[in-house]
A and B are shown apart, each in its own frame.
Chain A
């Protein structure tokens, strides 16, 4: 079993839809959870950063961590064409390297 699993998609939604992106993981020691957005031919850009379980909201974006289920989510409300990108989850425990998911490609059509 891979340490971090992420459905690659592609995921296509109409503008204004609520998008749910997810990752599962196997290492219960992971404590730090991140979501990165990567546009085509660009580097990953940090979107959300959470520690341990719970929710974090930033504008249209909400990150959720459920450590009991080893499951993290990123919700995008009122999705826009500019949200079209690949979304990478990443996580680790203190003192260890980040482990990335393969990314989910999202396309938002106007």
Chain B
């Protein structure tokens, strides 16, 4: 089945220790998104790639970076995680540049900060 896969499902890191979350997709979609979702909150868009074009949301902290080495993979790097960065991180894909194309989500990585 074509899908969006996130690894790891659970990640624990120490305050200030860099961490990388990964996402892969077999849907061959052009667009990949990273969202942050805190408990009982709406998913918040951090950034997205259209192919190799990177688009950062205005309020995404500089602490968050992303890489997309090829169509299938996308990474979220948190350079110096703070306690406030503990959340579920969701990767999503969609086919076209228009945001109105349906987005397909992975099951997320739950990040804990010690």
The residues of A with any CB-CB pair to B shorter than 8 Å are 4, 8, 31-32, 34, 36, 41-46, 49, 51, 88, 92, 94-103
Contact = CB atoms under 8 A, between A and B. Distances in A.
Interface residues of B, number: 22
B61 to A, nearest CB: 17
B114 to A, nearest CB: 20
Contacts of B105: 36, 43-45
A43 B108 contact: yes
Contact of B99 (A44, A49, A92): A92
28 contacts: A8-B40, A32-B100, A34-B102, A36-B105, A43-B6, A43-B90, A43-B107, A43-B108, A44-B43, A45-B105, A46-B104, A49-B102, A51-B100, A88-B42, A88-B43, A92-B99, A92-B100, A94-B98, A94-B100, A95-B98, A95-B99, A97-B57, A98-B45, A98-B99, A99-B42, A100-B42, A101-B42, A103-B42
Nearest to A96: B99
Nearest to B9: A41
Contact of B102 (A46, A97, A100, A103): A46
A102 B90 contact: no
A51 B40 CA distance: 27
A42 B108 contact: yes
Contacts of B90: 43-44
A82 B66 CA distance: 36
Interface string B70-104: 00000000000000000000101000001110111
Contacts of B108: 41-43
A48 B106 CA distance: 18
B110 interface: yes
A102 B57 CA distance: 19
A97 B42 CA distance: 13
B93 to A, nearest CB: 11
A100 to B, nearest CB: 4
Which 10 A-B residue pairings sit nearest by Cβ, starting from the closest?
A43-B105, A100-B42, A32-B100, A43-B107, A44-B105, A102-B42, A42-B107, A43-B108, A97-B45, A43-B106
